[in-house]
A and B are shown apart, each in its own frame.
Chain A
Amino acid sequence: MGSAQQLHLGVALDGAGQHPAAWRVSDVRPSALFTAAHYLAHAKLAEAASLDFVTLDDTLALQPGGEEVVRGRLDALLTFAAIAPVTSGIGLVPTVTTTHTEPFHISTAVASLDFASRGRAGVLAVPSRTEAEVAHFGRRTLPSEVDAEAENAEVVDVIARLWDSWEDGAIIRDEPTGRFIDREKLHYVDFEGRFFSIKGPSITPRPPQGHPVVAVYGDSPYAHGADVVLVDEIRGARERFPDAKLLAGLSIVLAETEQAAIERRRALEAYAPFPPGPSFTGTPADLATELPRLAESNSLDGFHIRPAVLPDDLALFTAETVPALQAAGAFRQTYTGATLRDHLGLGVAVNQYAEA
């Protein structure tokens, strides 16, 4: 990999930023976190900088903590659906919890996000790990960590089968024979896994990307098979995921001088400790120097940027870090394709049921 390696950049749009006290220092109105406008404004910032995608965290339980942290959130996939028609370039990768939600619903919902965004959908598939979520569904027991991860892998497998269960071009509208579809191009998936079985086919035709982009966190022993792996621990990550687009999570606190950035960080830490995981505190220009270096020395494909405070750190990142990366030839000048798969260079998704 030379210095001209093109980075891939995703941005987390969770709450008012990654830091638990972000909502206290941000100009964002706290109630705005429950509106589409908040997510649209930040997605537009990311889109104007031609970033690959935005993510939105989710769980089927209230965030832990007390009165002093952001609590409550809307369904992440529906929130991104609500900005899909009014954005045009940015990839949309909501978290979907796979332990309690039916895989059939996940498959059609992500496919439908792909239709509404015209090929910009992804999904961050995450198993549920809490007793609180089990209690919200009732009459179940918390699966072991390993089983939850294995079931997550099964869900990732079956949702792609369901996307493929309609071949492209299955809708034929053939008047002479009176056939709306060619049923030879529809397939029962007949999936029998360890955790569930599904008949298929999907009710939703194959989405524009064929396979919307599937992302997982790299802390899972079953993360193989995803298109994108998000890791916090970068050492040894490339060996564990040789084929995936490997993006390292990085929280950022930016300011025009390093001293000012350190002061911003201290001000946040006066309220609460900084969240665990890798972070960068400094100037946008220094970050632009740091990212290609980090990527090269660890064979990373890019970064999952987690702004400490929204919009502040995202605004500085897009206004200054991204142009510096572009000047260094490390990031695209503008979108060169229309779909999220195009942005990530993933190529055409092969349909596992179609005859070659």
Chain B
Amino acid sequence: MPKQVKLAAHFPGVNNTTVWSDPHSGSQIDFSSFEHLARTAERGKFDFLFLAEGLRLREHAGKILDSDVVGRPNTTTVLAALSAVTTRLGLAGTLSSTFNEPYEVARQVASIDHLSGGRAAWNVVTSPDAWTGRNFRRGGFLKREDRYRRAEEFLATVRELWDSWAPDAVVGDKENGVFARGIERFVHSGPQFDIRGEFTVPRTPQGQPIVIQAGDSDEGREFAAKTADVIFSRHGSLESGKEFFADVKRRLPAYGREPGELLIMPAATFVLGDTEEDAHEQAREIRYQQVRPATAIQFLEQVWSRDLSAYDADGPLPEIDPDPDAEPLTWGRVRHEKDPLAVAAKWRAIAEEKKLSIRELVIEVTARQQFVGTARQVAESIDEYVQSDAADGFVLVPHLTPGGLDAFVDDVVPRLQERGVFRTDYTGDTLREHLFSR
């Protein structure tokens, strides 16, 4: 049997990849939008639906960003509500280990696992920034080097709590009056947390809910190899995907783990057309809608830390250099640029070589893995990535809310099934079964 493809659906919430100007773009807030995407993903026999998290609205040059999609509901609440309208789909949410406490996260994720009958997953992230911390009473500033230390101890603590009830602790012996027996006390004492007591949630249907980790740094890869069930990556291209895949899987034996115990699922977008040309034309239009002139300038300002509003997005890159010492102009977005002068030099070289305007350059450098083509071509391509060990599957990011996954489920999933690389029905009830049973 060929290697089986894993599939997850990302709810296209905030940011500029969501094309809000499209006539088919619906609410990113109303529950009906979440319900539509979840039901579609379940109809397509997906492994899970994935929600990101936001804890402060993005700002640019001191103002709340108004050009892209803004605002979203609370992650755990939406996942719990989705458990009511789905029966098999995994429900994965991002919860910061910086602005929550282990007891709460353990309780929320375990509660969702019970309420959904074993379908919960937690994407562990850390946030190092005091800017977001201003929405939280304990501030939450964390030095960069402490991020994974806290995350690792946080996760270990959560797992101690999940394990603290014996699997059969809820006895329910009405005759002899024994409701529960074997609730162990937990005691965790470490550099980050000193907590002790009793957990309030019985052992969950999955035993341990699924743990997801997103991170590309060396520490991030090591953390995932040591302890996660799924890792999100941004390594979408075939070559970089293979390299990442090999690197992460190579780290597993040191922790006594088999390669199959950690699944690598990069984020990917897709555009389907009746013909290949049609798909490429649509993809080009979508990219231009995602990167409007204002968005392009703002993106550049993020690296330059200068006001570039006088520049024409359809013109060449600015002559002036970034200000490496300035406070960042944009907040609330993951920054990849450690050396803005080097980034600017690299971008200038790309723009010069390919003769790109500011907007075209931004479109070029913000491109993610994208499957573009007919449904048959996209299915073939996804299969190729998985069979050649560039990924175990993908987290698909549609550009439309909430209908952006419909065509994929209707047209691509059946072709993956025909190829024998994707389930035609769920064979288990829990997310752990979807991901790991043979």
A77-126 residues with Cβ-Cβ distance < 8 A to B are 77-79, 81-86, 100-105, 108-109, 111-113, 115-116, 118
Query: CB-defined interface of A151-190 with B at 8 Å, one 1/0 digit per residue?
Result: 0000000000000001000110101001111110010000
A205 surroundings in chain B (CB, below 8 A): 29, 71
A337 at the interface (CB under 8 A from B): no
Chain A neighbourhood of B112, CB < 8 A: 78
- Whether a CB of chain A sits under 8 angstroms from the CB of B104 is yes
Asked if A334 is at the interface of the complex by the 8 Å CB criterion, the answer is no
Known contacts: A62-B183, A136-B195, A186-B64. The answer to whether A115 contacts B55 by CB under 8 A is no
Which residue on B lies nearest to A35, using beta carbons? Answer: B114
Asked if A111 and B74 sit within 8 Å, CB to CB, the answer is yes
Whether the Cβ atoms of A109 and B179 lie closer than 8 Å is no
Question: A24 near B200 (CB under 8 angstroms)?
Answer: no
Q: Which of B75-83, B248-256, B317-325, B420-428 contacts A (4 or more CB under 8 A)?
A: B75-83
Is A67 within 8 A of B181, CB to CB? yes
Q: Please, which residues of chain A bring their CB within 8 A of the CB of B54?
A: 203
Residues in B76-109 with C-beta less than 8 Å from chain A: 76-78, 80-81, 83-85, 99-101, 103-104, 107-108
Taken together as a complex, chains A and B put the C-alpha atoms of A201 and B101 apart, in Å, by: 22
Known A-B contacts A79-B115, A115-B73, A181-B71; A36 and B84 likewise in contact (beta carbons under 8 Å): yes
Q: Which residues of A contact B70 (CB under 8 A)?
A: 171, 180-181
Contact A75 B111 (CB under 8 A): yes
Residue in B closest to A121 when the chains form the complex, CB atoms: B77
Given contacts A180-B69, A205-B29, contact A112 B63 (CB under 8 A): no
Shortest distance from the beta carbon of A241 to any chain B beta carbon, whole Å: 28
Asked, given contacts A72-B202, A204-B29, whether A23 binds B100 with beta carbons under 8 Å apart, the answer is no
Complex CA distance for A21 and B179, rounded to whole angstroms: 10
Q: Are B73 and A103 in contact (CB under 8 A)?
A: no
Specify the chain A residue showing the minimal Cβ separation from B71. A205
Which of B84, B172, B193 contacts A31 (CB under 8 A)?
A: B172
Q: Whole-angstrom distance from the CB of A273 to the nearest CB of chain B?
A: 15
What 0/1 readout, one digit per residue, does chain B (107-127) give for beta carbons within 8 Å of chain A? 110111011100000000000
Residue among B134, B179, B193 having the largest count of chain A Cβ atoms under 10 Å? B179
Contact A73-B77, Cβ < 8 Å, known A104-B55, A137-B101, A203-B55: no
Size class of the A contact interface (CB-based, 8 Å):
35 or more
CB of B31 within 8 A of CB of A115, answer: yes
Instruction: Tell whether, in the assembled complex, residue B200 and residue A199 are in contact, meaning their CB atoms are under 8 Å apart.
Output: no
Select which of B114, B115, B177 is within 8 A of A68 by beta carbon: B177
Q: Is there an interface contact between A82 and B71, defined as CB atoms closer than 8 Å?
A: no
Instruction: Report Cα–Cα, A266/B57, bound state, in Å.
Output: 57
Task: Return chain A residues, CB-CB under 8 Å to B240.
Answer: none
Bound complex: CA of A30 vs CA of B54, how far in Å? 37
Q: Quick check: is A200 within 8 A (CB to CB) of the other chain?
A: yes
The answer on a CB contact under 8 Å between B99 and A85 is: no
- Closest CB in chain A relative to B182 CB, distance in Å: 10
Please measure, in the bound complex, the distance between the C-alpha atom of A186 and the C-alpha atom of B66, giving whole angstroms: 10
Pair B111/A138 contact, Cβ less than 8 Å: no
* Cα A183 to Cα B29 with chains together (Å): 17
Interface residues on B, range: 35 or more
| Given contacts A30-B170, A31-B170, A72-B170, A24 and B177 within 8 Å (CB-CB) | yes
Contact B135 A200 (CB under 8 A): yes
- Contact check, A195 vs B71: say whether CB atoms are below 8 A apart: no
| Contact in complex: A201, B179 (CB < 8 Å) | no
Which residues from 235 to 282 on chain A have a C-beta closer than 8 Å to any C-beta of chain B? 271
Question: Which residues of A are found within 8 Å of B171, using beta-carbon distances?
Answer: 30
Contact A60/B174 with A85-B85, A112-B77, A183-B66 known, Cβ cut-off 8 Å: no
Q: Is A354 an interface residue (CB 8 A)?
A: no
Which residue of chain B is the closest to A154 with respect to CB atoms? B137
A203 — nearest CB in chain B belongs to which residue?
B54
* Sample (30) of A-B pairs whose CB atoms are under 8 Å apart: A30-B174, A30-B179, A35-B115, A60-B200, A61-B198, A67-B180, A68-B178, A72-B169, A72-B170, A72-B180, A72-B183, A74-B111, A75-B107, A79-B111, A100-B104, A102-B100, A111-B74, A137-B103, A173-B25, A180-B20, A180-B69, A181-B66, A182-B66, A186-B57, A203-B54, A203-B56, A203-B57, A204-B73, A205-B29, A271-B177
Q: 11 more A-B contacts (CB under 8 A) besides A36-B115, A136-B197, A198-B137?
A: A23-B179, A36-B84, A62-B183, A73-B201, A78-B77, A112-B78, A135-B197, A166-B71, A179-B66, A180-B66, A203-B55
The 8 closest A-B CB pairs, nearest first, are A30-B172, A196-B137, A81-B80, A112-B77, A112-B73, A116-B81, A78-B80, A199-B134
- Chain A interface (Cβ < 8 Å from any Cβ of B): 21, 23-25, 29-31, 34-36, 59-62, 67-75, 77-79, 81-86, 100-105, 108-109, 111-113, 115-116, 118, 132, 135-139, 166, 170-171, 173, 175, 178-183, 186, 195-201, 203-205, 271
